[in-house]
Structure 1
Amino acid sequence: MTIAFMWAEAQDHLIGAKGQLPWHLPADLQHFKQVTVDQIVVMGRKTYAGMGKPLPQRTNIVLSQQTDYPVAPGVILLNNVAAVLAYAAAHPQQETIIIGGAQIFNLFKDQVTRLYVTKIAARFSGDTYMPELDWPAFTRVAFQPGVVDAKNKYPYSFATYQRTNE
């Protein structure tokens, strides 16, 4: 069972602005899709509401304490970390990828084994920051610099980290 985090952050660890991404970076959206298609994505209620609809070709789980929170058909509503971990354990052929927001990342930071992070070398305005992680517990296993072009205006890179065996 793999529990992963996937997020993009600016230089100051900013990840959101009023429930949305503070930047437009099509290459990051494409990377996100490549990693998450056919996998399980777990998000909080606010992240789900900010997207407006479930992500296609993925198992969408919304984690909320509201047991009657309305979700689209096919979206799974779970109410605690244990339920998400049980679902992940029952589907070991799929990676379970936590995609936000900050409160949800905080809930799983002791269970996460893989990190997919897009680092954007720019500053933006926003209100949500990535929680502190135990970075010494992880080793970078992949790195790819991004290509700045007409559609992707900010310098960026993709990196993958794996939790080091303790």
Structure 2
Amino acid sequence: MNRPEITLILARAANGVIGADGRMPWHLPADLRRFKQLTMGRPMIMGRKTFDSLPAILAGRRHIVLTRDPDWHEEGAEPAPSVDEALKRANAPQVMVIGGAEIHSLFLPMADRIELTEVALEPAGDATIAYPDANDWQEIAREDHAASDGRPAYSFVTFTRRPD
């Protein structure tokens, strides 16, 4: 099988924060709905900490977990020791890489697309990701949402890799 299309999915605050103590430092129901729509029926690749942060196994999606621990096993998870092995196990035309920061950095050089939720906050956090580099990535879609109901403003942004 050829290499699948690799999409990185993440929500990122204005200051680069994507997580704090293993959790996202905001709650945006529209972002959760978008995440479900983007990932449904597709294999998701994630790190162990991201897997542990999920409230439960997400129905309708495979959970491929990159881990260095050969003895790690959890119900509903497919452990993989490397990026190559994770992609082999996915065995699908498209995979969704859902985090965390270290996993995103491993897949970034080979990613084809980024689905980013920009959150207009600057929270404290311990996991950060740089904004997509304009030399490598081109914004192809943006959907802005104003702050409401005590929730911050946010934007759904799609990037594709620029041709070499």
Measure, in 2, the Cα distance between the counterparts of 1:134 and 1:161.
10
- Cα offsets for 1:25-55 (capped at 9, x unmatched): 1111111111111111111001111114222
Given that 2:16 and 2:131 are in contact with CA atoms closer than 8 Å, whether structure 1 keeps it comes out as no
CA RMSD of aligned residues (A): 1.6
In the TM superposition, residue 134 of structure 1 has moved relative to its aligned partner by 3.9
SS across alignment from 2:110: coil
- The code of the aligned residue for 1:60 comes to H
The counterpart of 1:160, out of the listed 146, 158, 161, is 158
- Which consecutive residues of structure 1, in runs of 5 or more, have no partner in the other structure? none
Partner residue, 1:23: 26
- Identity over aligned residues, as a percent? 33
The counterpart of 1:8, out of the listed 5, 11, 22, is 11
Given that 1:53 and 1:72 are in contact with CA atoms closer than 8 Å, whether structure 2 keeps it comes out as no
In the superposition, the TM-score normalised over structure 1's length comes to: 0.90
SS across alignment from 2:87: helix
- Which consecutive residues of structure 2, in runs of 5 or more, have no partner in the other structure? none
1:56-75 correspondence runs (5 A): 56-73=59-76, 75=77
Partner residue, 1:77: 79
SS across alignment from 1:115: strand
Measure, in 2, the Cα distance between the counterparts of 1:58 and 1:159.
23
- The code of the aligned residue for 2:86 comes to V
SS across alignment from 1:4: strand
In the TM superposition, residue 110 of structure 1 has moved relative to its aligned partner by 0.9
Partner residue, 2:120: 121
- The code of the aligned residue for 1:164 comes to R
Is residue 92 of structure 2 the alignment partner of residue 91 of structure 1? Answer: yes
In the superposition, the TM-score normalised over structure 2's length comes to: 0.91
Change (3 A) 1:132 1:122: closer
Partner residue, 2:101: 102
SS across alignment from 1:49: helix
Measure, in 1, the Cα distance between the counterparts of 2:7 and 2:112.
6
In the TM superposition, residue 85 of structure 1 has moved relative to its aligned partner by 2.5
Measure, in 2, the Cα distance between the counterparts of 1:49 and 1:158.
25
- Deviation above 3 Å: which 4+ runs of structure 1? 131-135
Given that 2:65 and 2:86 are in contact with CA atoms closer than 8 Å, whether structure 1 keeps it comes out as no
In the TM superposition, residue 99 of structure 1 has moved relative to its aligned partner by 0.7
The number of residues matched between the two structures is 161
- The code of the aligned residue for 1:103 comes to E
- The code of the aligned residue for 1:83 comes to E
